[in-house]
Every structure is written in structure tokens, then in C-alpha cells.
Amino acid sequence: MYQFTGFTQDDFNVFLIPEFHDRMSALRTHIRPKLAMIGEDLAPKLSDFLHHSIYPHTASHARRRVNPPDDTWVSFSRNERGYKRFAHFEVGITLDYVFVRYVVKPEGEDDKPLLLKYLKNSGMESFHLADPSPIYWYRDDHGVDPLPIDQITPEILPKIIQHTAIKSHGFTVGITLPRTDSVAGKAELITRCYNAIVHLSPLYLATVPSEAMSK
């Protein structure tokens, strides 16, 4: 039985609050506890599936002082202390949708070399992923410029690799679930997110060092 019971329309509307302190307060009060529940519900299932310990980390946005965030998330990392240095998964919420993503951030120096090697060696097979929802490659880890992976061609792939190789860039692939989708408002969202992560997992499994898998 899951702790998480679903997002409400009021939860999505938090991102309409214009004032920094008001939005941050609403995120802390209404959204962060739900993301923490998602983390506690999903992490054991992902640990079992991936055969190594997975730890949830709920975003705090502690460094922000002026502009309120347009999205927020709970991440799932193999490291107990953090997630930014490592390939990880994110389940999050923004104004219009819930998202599930595989992410290597620009700070992900531990796993980015393996990701680049995998993309170069596997080529188009890297994007042979399937999910009931469309899967997108994004220009950054906040869902900018979505490109459906079924539109990635042998001509586009080298550009994605070049983009990823830049020190200030990362790599993000994932799905979105519209706020109007009934599953977003139910505990069933946990199962839906788990299944999406399973479908994205070939990228993760190919870019996590073998020694991490044994922990």
C-alpha cells in the first residue's frame, strides 16, 4: 500500500503563484511532502529492480533567492548523500504535467563519460526505448526543447552526442503525464512512474559503473 494518494489540481496550480516566497512556501507545504512520499514508495521497488540500493532525494531549491522554480522533483540515485554527480531518475511536477526522466546533469562527471561511450558505441539503438507515452530527449534537465526520440535520425544523433559532451550540458530523456490524466491524481501514479523508469532503464544500466551494481 502506498503513502502517496495523488496530486490535486491545486498542487499543479502552485506554479501559478507569482511571488517568490509565496510559491516557495506552497512548495514546501503542499508539494515537497508528496514528493517525499513518492520517494519512499518508489525507492524500494527500484532497488529491487536495479539490484543495488537506490536512495530518494527531494529537491529543496535551497540556493534560490529570487526566481521561484517552475518545476520540482524527487530524484532516485545510487548515492545516499546526493544525486547531481550521478546518473539518476526523477519524478516531478510542473504546471501542466508530471514528468519521469532519466538524467545525467552537467555535474554528473562520475557517469557522463560512460554515457557518452554508450551513445557512440550503440548509436541509434541507444534510443530504442518504448513506453505507452511518447518519450522525449530534452536539451536540458528542465524539459526544454523536447524532441520525440522516434524523430532522432542518424544525422541528428551526432549532434545530441556533441551537445551532451559540452561540459555545461547534460543528458535528459523522459515522458510527461498531463495534469488532466486521471492517474496523476491517484496512488496508481506510483506504478505508472515505476513502469516508465523500467522502460528508461536501459540508458541507466548502460551508464552506471559495474562496481556500483554490486552494492
The pLDDT of residue 170 is above 80? yes
The pLDDT of residue 62 is above 90? no
CB 119 within 8 A of CB 137: no
| Average pLDDT estimate for 4-30 | 96
Question: Which class in CATH covers the domain with range 9-208?
Answer: alpha beta
CA nearest to 148, candidates 161, 164, 130:
130
Q: What percentage of the chain has pLDDT greater than the value 70?
A: 97
Q: 84-140: per-residue pLDDT in tens?
A: 999 999 999 999 999 999 999 998 888 999 999 999 999 999 999 999 999 999 998
Q: Where are the domains of the chain?
A: 9-208
CA nearest to 200, candidates 133, 121, 108, 145:
133
Q: What is the pLDDT of residue 213?
A: 62
Give the predicted TM-score (pTM) of the model. Answer: 0.95
Q: Give residues with Cβ within 8 angstroms of 153, minimum separation 6.
A: none
E-assigned strand segments in the chain: 55-58, 71-77, 88-94, 97-104, 136-138, 147-148, 171-178
Q: What is the pLDDT of residue 67?
A: 86
